[in-house]
Amino acid sequence: MVELLDFIFFSSLITLNLDGSQYSIISIIFQSGFMTIHAILLWIFLLCVISSFIVLSYSIFKVAKKNTIEDYTLAKFLLLIGLFLIIGGFIKASFIFLLGNSHINTSITPVFSLIDALYTPSIAPVIGVIMWFYFTLVVGCFLVSGLIFGGIGLKWMLLIQEEETTDK
């Protein structure tokens, strides 16, 4: 949820100084014609991935309220959640990387990427860089949590199978 708020605040509050005018990130991507169509699609896909992670976390919360470790289906669910977090994290990382390398074409200044604009103090404020780092920090957290969820799910599956084989 915090990442969605960061995405919205980053899009609307961070302004870039291009050609002597102030533009918000959302207007650079969607309205001004400074960026190509693939940047628009990447921004929409990034919003979809963030929303799907919110839905996934809600489903994890609903399943975690059961508190039953003995269920084999729950163990499989945790393993699959871990795999989805890892796959989704890598997809999101590639979207962020591609969006950061999207070129901004202005009439006066030379062509440069979005990440170069964010790192230039005369173009963007420092808070823009911090918000951009937050996107990559969240991806790293999702990858680590995917490994943890997958490991816990696999461990529970193996423990349940071991109990079933010793009972026979």
pLDDT value for 5: 78
Q: How many CB atoms lie within 10 A of CB 110?
A: 7
Q: Is residue 90 predicted with pLDDT exceeding 90? A: yes
pLDDT value for 86: 92
pLDDT, one tens digit per residue, over 50-75 is: 888 888 888 777 776 765 556 777 88
Residue 67 Ramachandran class (φ > 0 left, ψ -120 to 50 alpha, else beta): left
Max CA separation in the chain (angstroms): 77
- Which domain covers residue 105, as residue numbers? 2-163
Task: Classify residue 66: in a domain, yes or no.
Answer: yes
Query: What confidence category does residue 77 fall into, taking pLDDT thresholds of 50, 70 and 90?
Result: confident
- In the chain, the number of structural domains is 1
Task: Classify residue 155: in a domain, yes or no.
Answer: yes
Q: Is residue 118 predicted with pLDDT exceeding 60? A: yes
Task: Classify residue 111: in a domain, yes or no.
Answer: yes
Task: Classify residue 36: in a domain, yes or no.
Answer: yes
Task: Classify residue 168: in a domain, yes or no.
Answer: no
Query: What confidence category does residue 144 fall into, taking pLDDT thresholds of 50, 70 and 90?
Result: very high
pTM of the model: 0.78
What mean pLDDT comes out for the span 32-54?
Answer: 83
